[in-house]
Amino acid sequence: MSGNDIIEFGAQSDENLRWAGYGLQEYPVLFNDNATWLKAITRNGELVNMVSKRYKLLPNEEVAKLADSAAQVAGLVPFSEFSGDWYTKMSDHIIYDNDQYRIHALYAMNQPYTIQGDKMHLGVGIHNAIDGSMGFGCGIFTFRHACANMVLAGMKNWEMSFDQRKTLEYVYKKHVGAEFEILTGKLAQTVQRIMERVPMLISWYDQLAVEKATKEMVQRLQKSTIPKKVLPPYLQIEKGQTQIQVPKKTQWEVYNDVTRLIWHNGKTDITSKITQFATLHSALMPSQMKARGF
């Protein structure tokens, strides 16, 4: 660029004005009167960011409205209204960053579930951004006690090393491509479907807690594509052995041992961890839950 180069905004199309009701507008970016691969997002006349023309804007207000509606249908309460134990109370279930570019909306089930004497809760986190810094995410998370520091709960790599806090399952899409177009077209259904999984997961966890590990379960894990390094020693065939002894553990204990090793394996990225979790769920989950799309 030289001192005489000019960057300016071009004329808007109807598509650029789609979210004008939220004060959001999009403009093509021109360089010396020539089209570029960029567009500018503005809010109330101020620049938010310049992003690729492929970027699909999804207003945070739209996300919050749909999430609140889906939570009500699914029987979840806004996180700030959670009636269980708290460390530090949260004043609102919808949290924005300082610039209000990012939104985090949290919800919880008031009814706890108990596994081997452990009282646990499940929640759902919805996350979005309008500046290109983050995609749309919707995830289920576990916790024992609620706290104001759980803003990121439900995001794809969220975990806290105490209080059984971690994301179990989620949907995450960048704001580009046909998949995101499909997601935004069915956003309410996507959020509601994630939230409706919560009671079914509680039922499954209860089942895992009372059922002992079986030979069939061990064989499914052995035949799966889960790397052996994230299987506990009792699920690995040692030198000189021809088969694994069925561990004297519940399926819940086995599940937690494997998830712990997956989460704390520093040599794999989040994409690999996600794939491994999906494989673990597939190996352990009852056939009737798989048939329902879990």
Per-residue pLDDT of the chain (294 residues; tens, 9 = 90+): 566 788 888 888 777 788 999 999 999 999 988 999 999 999 999 999 999 999 999 999 999 998 898 888 888 899 999 999 998 999 999 999 999 999 999 999 898 877 667 788 889 999 999 999 988 888 888 888 899 888 888 887 677 766 777 787 777 888 887 777 776 677 777 777 777 777 777 778 778 888 899 888 888 888 888 888 888 888 887 776 677 788 899 988 888 888 778 877 777 765 677 678 778 877 877 654 544 454
Give the pLDDT score at 291. 43
Give the pLDDT score at 115. 66
Give the pLDDT score at 64. 93
**Is residue 70 domain-shared with residue 194, that is, in the same domain?**
yes
Q: Give the list of residues 6+ apart from residue 242 with CB closer than 8 angstroms, or none.
A: none
Number of Cβ atoms within 10 Å of the Cβ of 292: 10
Give the pLDDT score at 52. 94
**Is residue 186 domain-shared with residue 227, that is, in the same domain?**
no
Give the pLDDT score at 22. 94
Give the pLDDT score at 48. 97
Number of Cβ atoms within 10 Å of the Cβ of 293: 7
| Best CA proximity match to 259, nearest among 293, 216, 183, 208 | 208
Range of the domain at 136: 60-199
Inside any domain, residue 39: yes
What span, in angstroms and rounded, lies between the C-alpha atoms of 57 and 132? 9
Inside any domain, residue 1: no
Inside any domain, residue 238: yes
Inside any domain, residue 115: yes
Q: Of the candidates 168, 199, 230, which is a domain's last residue?
A: 199
**Is residue 181 domain-shared with residue 70, that is, in the same domain?**
yes
Helix axes 215-223, 251-263, angle to 10 degrees: 20
Q: Of the candidates 147, 170, 199, which is a domain's last residue?
A: 199
Half-sphere exposure of 102 (CA within 13 A, CB side): 12
Inside any domain, residue 222: yes
Give the pLDDT score at 50. 95
> Residue 257: what residue type?
D
Number of Cβ atoms within 10 Å of the Cβ of 221: 19
CA dihedral 135, 140, 145, 147 (to 10 degrees): 20
**Is residue 102 domain-shared with residue 232, that is, in the same domain?**
no
Q: Give the list of residues 6+ apart from residue 124 with CB closer than 8 angstroms, or none.
A: 71, 74, 76, 106, 107, 108, 138, 139, 140, 141, 154, 194, 195, 198
**Is residue 187 domain-shared with residue 218, that is, in the same domain?**
no
Give the pLDDT score at 288. 44
> Residue 135: what residue type?
G
How many domains does one find in the chain? Answer: 3
Inside any domain, residue 204: no
What span, in angstroms and rounded, lies between the C-alpha atoms of 95 and 132? 18
What is the chain's alpha carbon radius of gyration, rounded to the nearest angstrom? 23
Give the pLDDT score at 119. 80
Inside any domain, residue 251: yes
What pTM, to 2 d.p., does this model score?
0.72
First vs last C-alpha separation in the chain: 52
**Is residue 91 domain-shared with residue 131, that is, in the same domain?**
yes
**Is residue 101 domain-shared with residue 33, that is, in the same domain?**
no
**Is residue 33 domain-shared with residue 87, that is, in the same domain?**
no
